[in-house]
Structure 1
Amino acid sequence: MSQILPLSLAAYFVPPVDNVGVFAMLTGYSADEHFLNDALEKFTQNIKSQRAYEGVASFALMLDETHHQITAVDCPGLAHLASNPAVKNKFKLLHAKVALLLFNNKDTEQKTIRLVVSTGNWTRQTLADSLDLVWSIDFEIGQYEDEQVQTDIAKAYDFINYTLSFFDGGLLSCKRISKSLSPTSFKYQQFTDALNTFKAVKNITPRFFDNRSHSLLSQLPDLVTAHASDRKRNYLCIGSGFYEGGNASGQIPIAISAIEQELRKSDLLIKKPCKDIFINPQQCQAISESTEALTNDGWQIRSSFDSLYQGKSHTRSLHAKFIFSANEGGEECQRPWLYLGSGNITAPGFLNQASLTGGNLEAGMVFSPEGLTWFSEEEPDLCISHKLPINRDDESIITDEELLSAGGEMPEHDGLYISAPVSYFTFIKEINAESWLLPSENSEQKYQVLSLDNEICKMQEGRVSWLTAEPRQVLVSWQCNDQIVQVYVPVLDEFGRMAATELPELELDDAWMLLGTFPTLPSEGHEEGYEDKGYGSTSDTSTGSSDYHLNKMMALIEYIAQKQTEIKEFDWPQWCHRLEQTFCQMENSSSFEYFRKIGINPLSALLAKPFRPDFAENNQTEAGLLYEHGFSRIEATLKLTNLLKFGDLHE
């Protein structure tokens, strides 16, 4: 069910019970590291250092191009996509706050899609200081037929893809040096595979809407009629964190007047309704200069209401954008409808179609919040004041203009984050030679890569020379429109990990831990190896004996064989990546050194059909091919390729 709950915005990233987050795409005007790290930890169930070690993006974030860059080093698990300067924007500001999230059940193949539409930004300020609203709904794919929800999600996904067309999506299709998809690309592919199953149902009007082709206002009457009936209402209220003035000082603000006129013209409002405007008294822009005109026109100006901090010293400022209408008469709100979304009650936010000069890119929801009451002592959670930031007590009415202040203008960013000539680099380490950064694409645009000492790196045959340790990201500088632009570009390692921390050398005990906790990571200690958890200890006095290495290796192989035959197909790419990465960190392991000395490849047993799941039992399937290609790289790294296989011992 849809919900308007007094939850923290970050709480909407918590997976359903027995689920874990796979991938999410977000649009917004503002975001910060504090919020995103919190949301990513909830979504992935991995703390910041674990996500840095894993090197996989779980969020793709699209913000207005004037927003500063948020790097994957500062926020591991994030791919902040850069605006593509080669594609001309069709909107003034990217202002819509929308998220689509994919979750996967840990025990079944069940996938869940969550749509989140917020009035607030993905920031710490939204969590602590702003009065905002969120609409959210979950859909379990294949479990039940709900044509309305299916259409809502299909419309939102179409909006996400439209927005993506203005950004550099290279990080979402990044490839390893072997040309196979990176772990991030696998996650994004799972996301798109799931969302592509959603198709809008004919004759079903989506509740989600945006202003790409028509203003929010022009679409409002039809949406109200479709989702809440075409009857007239006798109550209307408007709330916004920002209001725009009239044609002259002292007039009714343009957007407020236009909304009322549009609802009257569509027979959704009676001639003399009760009308409320909810504001921040100390920052209400044009309302402070229009009090007399609004009051004369029948509007009551009210201070926003915070049910969470009512009567307490902490106060939150109204940031939510909403329009609510219903019939008064009795305790229950009759025939209610609600708009909530990103569009402020202004011309660029609500009256105009998105355009480069006149309208922001906005999105929102229109729906009927059934069961609301005007006042309720028996069920206070159903009271409208607990769902919306409004209070209709007489003392909330403001009649004295001196109590109001216009405040400042809508804050705007002063940065610029556009895509560099390359989307990412791959680090290439050559034995007894210098290392290189291989660009993701050949660019006609000239650029420079700066070293950690801020020196220009040498470039040769399209590669960038790198003289120090493997970097997580590098600073790229180039000229764009007569100005020098600099952004950080992430670096992929040989495993396709993005902006990841250094991998430690591992022993067999560490492999038990890394593989045993799949699909999550161990809770701590991964930067310096893993502590023993009861599978034996490398500090055992017999660690140098042949019996130790044989027994330990055979136990690990048996454990892997049992575990991977139970892996679900949805998790298979991640398992293959974990397996390859773990074993390739064991090149200097004493156990593998022992097997190289006796000339046997102990891992060859894992290629046998009984030790593989049905969907990957041979190289005739994509899953099987993925597994075998990964094994070839493992054997090459560990120098096992030409050694005797277990099957050969009996021939």
Structure 2
Amino acid sequence: MSRNARAVKRPSLAQFFDAPDAYLGHFGWLCGYSADAAFLNDALERFTGQTQARRAAGGRIALAMILDPGNPLITTVDVPGLVHLPMLGDIPRPFRLLHAKVALLGFRHQDDASRWRVRLIVSTGNWTRQTLEESLDLVWSIDADSDMLAERDDDVKTACADVRAAWRMIERIVPHFDTRLFTAIGGALPGESAHADRQLRHWIAQCEQAAGRARPRFVDNWDKPLLTQLPVLAERATGGAACNRLAMGSGFFESTPADAGGAPPALLKIIAELQRTGRITANCKIDVFVNPDACQAVATSVAALEEHGVTVRHAHAPEAVFGTVASERRKLHAKFLFAANERANSNACTSAWLYLGSGNLTKPGLLSSANARGGNLEAGVVFAVADLQWKAQRGVPPEQVVGNVLPLQHSDCVETDKALTAGADMPERPDECVAAPVAWLTWCDADAAGPTRLQSPEPMGALPHVDVLDPAGAPCGRLADAFAWPGDRPRQVEVRWNDANGPGRATVPVLDEFGRVAATPVTALDVDEIWWQLANFPMAPDDDVPDRFGEGFDPTVTAGQAPATADGRTYPIRQMMELVENIAQRQTAIDEADWHAWCSRLEQTLARAAESAGVTAFVELRLNPLSPLRAAPFRPAFAEAGDSAAGARYEAALSAIEHAWAVDALPALGSME
């Protein structure tokens, strides 16, 4: 058998972003301590079903991310489809560190917009490649969907209560971060992304209503320390039985105390609270699992802990899960408390419950509520664990063995401090991701109003000490309402400023005329190519269809192709009329929930055909080929007239396309003028 053979298949943290069958990733929120582009590109490709290049071309935001401000900015160019929201620098911070690692993801059915699914992910690991490849971490997830809500049984209500609790935590974080990209009102904005965000919030609201008075398993420390809440949650999960086994694990412990050799106070307080509340017995067998190369105060307190009935053990990376080679390099990062009963005549873990989350077994992690003086913002989940077995035996599935579920082993223990290393403490990080005076800039082509420029959403008079830097790092010239830009549209720019807090510098995205965020340049389309960009809606255009995004495009094969007669003549007018007919047939079947996104897709796609032979033919005929699309029979009932929001949005999209094609002033098709 291969040294990397695995008997137990468990999804990685990134795989929890996979869309369910027949569903599409729509929009999500994520918070955490740290993240990197490698992990996020993997997660977003799984979530959206789109490659990095396809997401960059679309310019649509699918995931809003809030991290501790000590994490450097991850730009939308680094991870297309992601917006990393910076922290506001002018309001008090309500926590020492943003340490909670939580994601709420919204999926919509690809054929029925009324069907949706919301997924809650709670992780002990950061959103990084290191978590996937080097760490021993844990993750918990639950789904709530529209099909479940009609059942309203206890499990459904509890799942909805978990979603409600997690969303309320995120809602309290959001006001401390710069969300102007979504909340501002104006012309060129990521409207499709903001619409998807509103849909996710609507789905969560339905979960909140369905939850009723159900109590969640999800827990955070906004108002109370996690430790004061864990006993009640554990009792609720198991019915109140006191457990005679306790396993404790943490990525960090308290710093090495001045009186080295004393037991870490936080560990003793956790044990005392669990005993006081009856969650573990007075003579409970207690194990603390550590990374032997970095366990802080535990490294000098093996004997002191033993005096309190606590055994120190190495964390175990199960070969059944990771394979022999991978398990050798993984180090404990998971934070957990696992309690269960062990009986002499049974292999079953009975009355078992588990806490996993972001909170380390330290004062800032488990013993404090969130506060700027020293309490991190933490989150986790406490739940009953069924069907676990203490040991691998004949007839026991490997996925039920506790050592294959948690990083536990009981074959050896640490007997002396010499076997351990304290390692480094939790690193202090200066704030790196702080909001700039402008959240984005909008590209404007050269026209009668001025040269190519970047327009600010804020009045220029309010930005006297703000510079936009050109590619050479020099300040751009200031115009009445914009910054002059010397060249083609950039995807993002550097902004420099000076305010009461001192000098600052940040990267901000550039939006194009369609509201695409930090997107790659659009390329021209022929009329016969347009339909392939629309046919799969609401899914992204098929990567297998040759277009000019740089994926699957061979100009020697596709350039200039069009239906032709034997003498080589093409039929651009016929192609245009077929396109209009296809659009009309498709859009009359669009669900109202998808209408805003359809209008955005329609506008962005058709505008790319402005130089095509089909458009040129109608300009020469002095006719507007899009005029039939304004007729009521070619529109869904909810958008038949411009006096509704849906109708007004559609007509605005048509007007923008007509202007781009230079047919807006031409007579309607069929006109006698």
Fold-level similarity (TM above 0.5): yes
Structure 1 gaps of 5+ residues are: none
**Match in the other structure for 1:216:** 226
**Match in the other structure for 2:526:** 507
| 1:507-561, Cα deviation, whole Å (9 max, x unpaired) | 11220221123321231643369679x9996355569999712221122122222
In the alignment, is residue 527 of structure 1 matched against residue 549 of structure 2? yes
**Match in the other structure for 2:640:** 617
User: Is residue 215–residue 351 contact of structure 1 (8 Å, CA) maintained in 2?
Assistant: yes
User: Is residue 176–residue 492 contact of structure 1 (8 Å, CA) maintained in 2?
Assistant: no
User: Is residue 240–residue 344 contact of structure 1 (8 Å, CA) maintained in 2?
Assistant: yes
Q: Tell me the CA shift for residue 328 of structure 1.
A: 0.8
Q: Tell me the CA shift for residue 268 of structure 1.
A: 1.5
User: Is residue 428–residue 437 contact of structure 1 (8 Å, CA) maintained in 2?
Assistant: yes
Q: Tell me the CA shift for residue 319 of structure 1.
A: 0.3
Closer, same or farther in 2 for the Cα pair 1:601/1:531, shift >3 Å? farther
Q: Distance in 2 between matches of 1:38 and 1:273?
A: 43
Q: Distance in 1 between matches of 2:404 and 2:635?
A: 54
* Partner secondary structure for residue 197 of structure 1: helix
In the alignment, is residue 570 of structure 1 matched against residue 593 of structure 2? yes
**Match in the other structure for 1:439:** 456
Tell me the TM-score normalized by structure 2.
0.91
Q: Distance in 1 between matches of 2:131 and 2:550?
A: 37
User: Is residue 469–residue 494 contact of structure 2 (8 Å, CA) maintained in 1?
Assistant: yes
User: Is residue 562–residue 570 contact of structure 2 (8 Å, CA) maintained in 1?
Assistant: no
* Partner secondary structure for residue 523 of structure 2: coil
**Match in the other structure for 2:507:** 488
Query: Which one of 405, 418, 441 corresponds to residue 387 of structure 1?
Result: 405
**Match in the other structure for 1:250:** 261
Q: Distance in 1 between matches of 2:240 and 2:27?
A: 39
In the alignment, is residue 591 of structure 1 matched against residue 607 of structure 2? no
**Match in the other structure for 2:5:** none
Closer, same or farther in 2 for the Cα pair 1:228/1:526, shift >3 Å? farther
Q: Tell me the CA shift for residue 84 of structure 1.
A: 0.3
Deviates more, 1:123-132 or 1:541-550: 541-550
Closer, same or farther in 2 for the Cα pair 1:324/1:528, shift >3 Å? closer
**Match in the other structure for 1:429:** 445
Closer, same or farther in 2 for the Cα pair 1:543/1:426, shift >3 Å? farther
Residue type at the aligned position of 2:525: L
User: Is residue 32–residue 100 contact of structure 2 (8 Å, CA) maintained in 1?
Assistant: yes
Residue type at the aligned position of 2:576: M
User: Is residue 288–residue 401 contact of structure 1 (8 Å, CA) maintained in 2?
Assistant: yes
Q: Tell me the CA shift for residue 247 of structure 1.
A: 7.3
Closer, same or farther in 2 for the Cα pair 1:547/1:409, shift >3 Å? closer
Q: Distance in 2 between matches of 1:526 and 1:214?
A: 54
In the alignment, is residue 410 of structure 1 matched against residue 434 of structure 2? no
Q: Distance in 2 between matches of 1:444 and 1:475?
A: 15
**Match in the other structure for 1:148:** 158
Q: Distance in 2 between matches of 1:575 and 1:90?
A: 40
Deviates more, 1:348-357 or 1:538-547: 538-547
Deviates more, 1:427-436 or 1:550-559: 427-436
Q: Distance in 2 between matches of 1:547 and 1:460?
A: 47
User: Is residue 246–residue 252 contact of structure 1 (8 Å, CA) maintained in 2?
Assistant: no
Q: Distance in 1 between matches of 2:146 and 2:670?
A: 43
User: Is residue 439–residue 462 contact of structure 1 (8 Å, CA) maintained in 2?
Assistant: yes
**Match in the other structure for 1:332:** 348
Residue type at the aligned position of 1:607: R
Residue type at the aligned position of 1:291: V
Structure 2 gaps of 5+ residues are: 1-7
**Match in the other structure for 1:283:** 294
Q: Tell me the CA shift for residue 9 of structure 1.
A: 0.5
In the alignment, is residue 186 of structure 1 matched against residue 190 of structure 2? no
Q: Distance in 1 between matches of 2:628 and 2:568?
A: 22
Q: Tell me the CA shift for residue 6 of structure 1.
A: 2.9
* Partner secondary structure for residue 460 of structure 1: coil
Q: Tell me the CA shift for residue 221 of structure 1.
A: 1.2
Q: Tell me the CA shift for residue 189 of structure 1.
A: 1.9
**Match in the other structure for 2:77:** 73
**Match in the other structure for 2:4:** none
Equivalent residues, number: 644
* Partner secondary structure for residue 66 of structure 2: strand
Deviates more, 1:605-614 or 1:197-206: 197-206
Query: Which one of 371, 378, 389 corresponds to residue 355 of structure 1?
Result: 371
Q: Distance in 2 between matches of 1:5 and 1:270?
A: 34
Q: Distance in 2 between matches of 1:181 and 1:274?
A: 56
Closer, same or farther in 2 for the Cα pair 1:621/1:488, shift >3 Å? same
User: Is residue 176–residue 494 contact of structure 1 (8 Å, CA) maintained in 2?
Assistant: no
Q: Tell me the CA shift for residue 151 of structure 1.
A: 1.1
**Match in the other structure for 2:476:** 457
Q: Distance in 2 between matches of 1:464 and 1:373?
A: 66
Q: Distance in 1 between matches of 2:468 and 2:162?
A: 44
Closer, same or farther in 2 for the Cα pair 1:82/1:5, shift >3 Å? farther
> Where in structure 2 are the equivalents of 1:9-158 lying within 5 Å?
9-109=13-113, 110-144=115-149, 145=152, 146-158=156-168
Q: Tell me the CA shift for residue 174 of structure 1.
A: 5.1
User: Is residue 124–residue 335 contact of structure 2 (8 Å, CA) maintained in 1?
Assistant: yes
User: Is residue 573–residue 617 contact of structure 2 (8 Å, CA) maintained in 1?
Assistant: no
User: Is residue 176–residue 496 contact of structure 1 (8 Å, CA) maintained in 2?
Assistant: no
Deviates more, 1:438-447 or 1:82-91: 438-447
Q: Tell me the CA shift for residue 175 of structure 1.
A: 5.4
Q: Distance in 1 between matches of 2:580 and 2:408?
A: 62
Deviates more, 1:354-363 or 1:551-560: 551-560
Q: Distance in 1 between matches of 2:142 and 2:661?
A: 48
Q: Distance in 1 between matches of 2:454 and 2:550?
A: 26
Q: Distance in 2 between matches of 1:23 and 1:139?
A: 15
Q: Distance in 2 between matches of 1:310 and 1:142?
A: 38
Tell me the TM-score normalized by structure 1.
0.94
Closer, same or farther in 2 for the Cα pair 1:631/1:116, shift >3 Å? same
User: Is residue 174–residue 182 contact of structure 1 (8 Å, CA) maintained in 2?
Assistant: no
Residue type at the aligned position of 2:452: S
Residue type at the aligned position of 2:124: T
Query: Which one of 483, 487, 492 corresponds to residue 473 of structure 1?
Result: 492
Q: Distance in 2 between matches of 1:536 and 1:68?
A: 43
Residue type at the aligned position of 2:399: D
Q: Distance in 1 between matches of 2:472 and 2:566?
A: 44
**Match in the other structure for 1:580:** 603
